[in-house]
Amino acid sequence: MPPNKRKAGLTQPLPDTKQSQLESFTAGSANMLTTNQGLQLPDNHNSLKAGVRGPTLLEDFILREKITHFDHERIPERVVHARGSGAHGIFKVHKPMVQYTSAAFLQDPDLETPVFVRFSTVAGSKGSADTVRDVRGFAVKFYTQEGNYDLVGNNIPVFFIQDAIKFPDLIHAVKPEPHHEMPQAASAHDTFWDFASLMPESTHMLMWAMSDRAVPRSLRMMEGFGIHAFRFVNARGDSHFVKFHWKPKLGVHGLAWDEAQKIAGKDSDFHRRDLWEAIENGDFPEWNLGVQIVDEGKEDELGFDILDPTKLIPEAQVPVQIIGTMVLNRNPDNFFAETEQVAFHPGHLVPGIDFSNDPLLQGRLFSYTDTQLSRLGGANFHEIPINRGVCPMHNFQRDGLHRQTINKGRVAYEPNTLGNGLQGTEFRVDGGTQGFQSYPEQLDSPKIRRRSPSFDDHFSQATLFWNSQSVAEKDHIVAAFRFELSKVDVPEIRQRMVDNLAHVDLKLATRVAAPLGIKSPDPKAAAGRLGFRDHRISNKVNEDPALSMLGRAGASVKTRKIAMLVADGVEAASLRRLQQDLADAGAICKLVAPHLGSVSTASGRQLAVDFTFTNTASVMFDAVLIPGGSQSAAALSAMGEAVHFVLEAYKHCKTICALNDGVQLLSTLGFNLDKNPDVIAVPTAGVIMADARKVADGQVSQDFIAAIALHRHWDRLNIDAVPA
C-alpha cells in the first residue's frame, strides 16, 4: 500500500507511527496534487482514455473520485435565512453582571470571548440579492468556557407571529409562490399579503418591515435584537427577565428604496462585500451589547404580555443598559466551511441564561437541531470546526454519520464501574447540583391548545411605532406599503390590508390606499372579520425616540464612500485637500472618471482613476464631490452617465458638493453658483456649492463632512420631480 505523502490539508494529527512515516515521505513532494487517499497525481488535465481520441475508461478512478466529490459539493440551503455573510470577532463584557447572571462570559471585563456572527436575509435563496426588502438575521455564537451560547436574533425587535405553529404558514406565504417559483426574495406578492392581512398579529412587525430598517445601508449599521424575553439567573437562583439589544457604533441607517432595488442589480453582493472590505481594511465593525432587565414578578406592570413576541419593551419605559462590546475583526477563511456550515440554535445556552415561555421561542427550541439534521447530514454537526466549543466536552453519545471523534475504551454508558472514562477520568453527573440548572418556574395549569387573551392586542405598539417616526420615515413607510400592495393582483387582499392599517392610524391607511384602486379604508370592515381582534391596551408611552432611525443618526463619516467625479483638466489642489480631510475623518474616497488609467489635472499632473461611469454607479456611494476645472466640468456635463450619476445621488438624498465649474452638473436641478467667490451656497439640504478658495480654509471640508454624517437628507426639496 503506498504510504500517505500528503501534508497540506491535514486537520487531525495522525497516530505517531503514521506521522513519522508521513514526514519521511513528504520531502520534495509537498506541493504535488493528490487524490483524497493521498495518491500523487501524474496529470490533472486528461482523463484515462483508450487512445488519445478514444472513449474514457470506467477504470479511471482518479476522474471518478474528482467528479463524485464535485457532484456532492452542495448541501441543502437553509429553509429560511439561506443568504448570509459571516465574520469572526471577540466579545468583552464591561462590568461583572454577577447581580443578574452567573454566565461566566458576562463576569470578567478582561476576558475575551471569541464569537462568530452570521447576518442573513430571511426569504431569499442563497444566491439572492443582498439589498432586498426583508428582515435581517443577526446570529451570534459565543464560544465561552462554559459551552457555546447562541444569541440568534434579527435586526427588528418583534416578529410576525405569536406561536411557532404558524411559522411554516408564514414562510410558505412569503417564499416564491409554489406554482411558478416567483418572486425571489420579495414579500411584494399576493400570497404574503393574503396571509399577513388575515393575521392582524403581524401588523406591528409589518410596520417595521415596511420601514427603512428592512433596507439597511450596511450590515455594520444595523441594530440586533434577541426579540424574545429570556431569563438571567444568578448564582442564588434569582431570575430576571432580559431582552437583548445590539447597538452599532456606526449608527442605524437605511437605503432609499429605489437605491436598494438598483443595487440589487448592480452588485447583488453589496452587503457581503461591504462587510468583507471593512474588515479587510481594518475598519472593524463594533456593536455594544445592551440589556433591558425586568424583575421577575414585575412584568405585569409593563402593560402588555412580556411573553408576546409581537411586543417590544419601549426603551422609554425600560432603558437599555450597555454591558459589553463585540468587535468583528476577522473574515472567514472559507465561506462554506464556516458561514455555510455554522449551526445556530436558541437552545445553545450557558448556565445563568434561560428561556421564558414565549410560545414562539419554545417552538424554535425544537426547530434548529431538527433542521441541522437534514442540512448538515446527521447528528454530528457539533464536530464541524466552526461549531465546536472551546471548552472540554464529554458524553457517551456515539457514532452516527461523519463521526470525527475516535472514542476510546469499552464504556459508552453512565453509570459505570468498568471504564476509566476519557483521559483516565470517570465522567459522570453529580446528582444535579452543578452545571446548567433550569429555572424552577412553578407551573400548575391545564393542558390547553389556546392563545392567552393577554396576546389579543395587535395594534397599540404598531401605533406607537408609527407615532415615533419622523415625517420622512412615515413617508417611506407609506411608500413601501403602496409598492408592496400595488404588486398584489387580488384587490380584496389590498382592501383587507388597508382596512387593518386603519386600526393603526387612519391617516396612514388612507395615504396607503390612495393609489391602490380600492375603497377608502374602513376599520369597521376589518373589525367584522372572523378572528380579528383589537383589544387595545393603552401604551404607557405614546412615542419612543429609540424607534426612529433618524432620531439617532451617527455623527461620523467613518467608512462612508465618497465618489469624486473627474475628467481631464480637473482642478486638483482643492480636490486633494478635500480627499485628505475626508480620509482623516475616516471616509473612503474614490475617483470616478470617463475611463480607467489616469486623468490629467489642470496643472498637468496625473491622477489615478478608481472607477468609470460604466463599472460603478451613484448607488455604490454615500456622497458625491464634483471638483472644479472648466475642461473637466464641461466634459462631465456633456456625458449623460455623469449627469445621471449626480441626479440619482440627488434623488437618493445624498450629500453633493460641487466646486466652481463643477456646479454645471447641478444646473439641470436649477442650481447655479453665484459668481461671488466667497460664497458657500446650500440651495437645499445636503447640497453644497462652493468656491475652491473656501476649500483652502477648511470650511468646505467641515460642511461636507457634517452633511455626510447626517447620512441622507430625506427632507430634500423636489425629489419626486427628478428624473433618475
Catalogue the active-site residues.
81, 154
CA distances from 117 to 152, 272, 402, 629 (A): 9, 13, 25, 47
Nearest approach, Cβ of 230 to ligand HDE (angstroms)? 11
Q: Which residues contact 566 (CB under 8 A, 6 or more apart)?
A: 575, 591, 592, 593, 599, 607, 609, 627, 632
Does residue 154 bind ligand HDE (CB under 6 A)? yes
The span from the CA of 406 to the CA of 515, in Å, is 66
What would the DSSP string read from start to end of 476-545? Answer: HHHHHHHHHHHT---HHHHHHHHHHHTTT-HHHHHHHHGGGTSPPP-HHHHHTSTT----PPPPS-S--G
Asked whether position 5 contacts ligand HDE by CB under 6 A, the answer is: no
Nearer to ligand HDE, 119 or 613 (CB): 119
The answer to whether 356 contacts ligand HDE (rule: CB under 6 A) is no
- 139 is a site residue for ligand HDE (CB under 6 A): yes
Spacing of C-alpha 54 from chain mean position = 53
167 contacts ligand HDE (rule: CB under 6 A): yes
Stretch that binds ligand HDE, among 294-302, 336-344, 488-496, 589-597 (CB under 6 A): 336-344
User: Following DSSP, what letter does each residue of 297-309 receive, concatenated?
Assistant: T-GGGGSS-TT-T
Q: Which residues of 330-360 are buried (b: 16+ CB within 10 A; e: fewer)?
A: ebbeeeeebbbbbbbbbebbbbbbbbbebbb
Q: Which of residues 585-644 bind ligand HDE (CB under 6 A)?
A: none
Residue 78 binds ligand HDE, judged by CB under 6 A: yes
Please, what is the minimum distance in Å from the beta carbon of residue 123 to ligand HDE?
Answer: 12
Selected from 124, 147, 153, 251, the binder of ligand HDE by CB under 6 A is 153
- Tell me how far, at minimum, the Cβ of 367 lies from ligand HDE, in Å: 4
Q: Which residues pair with 327 in a beta bridge?
A: 90, 286
**Grid coordinates representing 674?**
453665484
466 Cβ neighbours under 8 A, 6+ residues apart = 207, 474, 477, 504, 505, 508
Q: Which is nearer to ligand HDE, 158 or 546 (CB)?
A: 158
Given a contact cutoff of 8 angstroms between Cβ atoms, the answer to whether 136 and 149 are in contact is no
Q: Is 664 helix (H, G, I), strand (E, B) or coil?
A: helix
Closer residue to ligand HDE, CB minimum distance, 78 or 494: 78
Residue nearest to ligand HDE (CB): 137
Choices 56-64, 364-372, 411-419, 496-504 (CB under 6 A): range interacting with ligand HDE: 364-372
Nearest alpha-carbon partner for 553 in 685, 689, 397, 363: 685
| CA-to-CA dists, residue 415 to 151, 405, 406, 437, angstroms | 33, 21, 21, 20
Decide: is 227 part of the binding site for ligand HDE (CB under 6 A). Answer: yes
Choice between 135 and 592, CB closer to ligand HDE:
135
User: Do residues 316 and 165 touch, judged by C-beta distance below 8 A?
Assistant: no
Cell 404574503 sits on residue: 192
- Residue 154 vs 701, nearer CB to ligand HDE: 154
- Residue 125 as a binder of ligand HDE (CB under 6 A): the answer is no
Q: Please, what is the minimum distance in Å from the beta carbon of residue 139 to ligand HDE?
A: 4
Binding status of residue 364 toward ligand HDE by CB under 6 A: yes
Contact 463, 509 (CB under 8 A): no
Should residue 371 be labelled a site residue for ligand HDE when binding is judged by CB under 6 A? yes
- Choices 291-299, 341-349, 503-511, 576-584 (CB under 6 A): range interacting with ligand HDE: 341-349
- Cell numbers given for 534: 383589537
Q: Which stretch binds ligand HDE (CB under 6 A): 31-39, 79-87, 93-101, 265-273?
A: 79-87
Q: Identify which range of 41-49, 357-365, 669-677, 690-698 contacts ligand HDE by CB under 6 A.
A: 357-365
From the list 150-158, 194-202, 229-237, 296-304, the region that binds ligand HDE by CB under 6 A is: 150-158
208 binds ligand HDE (CB under 6 A): no
Which one among 41, 57, 79, 391 touches ligand HDE, defined by CB under 6 A? 79
Size of the site for ligand HDE (CB under 6 A): 25
Question: Could you give the CA distance from residue 62 to residue 56 in angstroms, rounded to a whole number?
Answer: 12
Per DSSP bridges, beta strands 239-248 and 224-225 are: antiparallel
Question: In angstroms, what is the minimal distance from the CB of 225 to ligand HDE?
Answer: 7
Binds ligand HDE by CB under 6 A, chosen from 367, 437, 467, 470: 367
Looking at the DSSP assignment, which residues form a beta bridge with residue 647?
A: none
272 binds ligand HDE (CB under 6 A): no
Phi, psi of 422 (to 5 degrees): -85, 145
CA distance 265 to 536: 43
**Where along the sequence are the contacts to ligand HDE (CB under 6 A)?**
78-81, 84, 118, 120, 137, 139, 152-154, 159, 164, 167, 227, 342-344, 360, 363-364, 367-368, 371
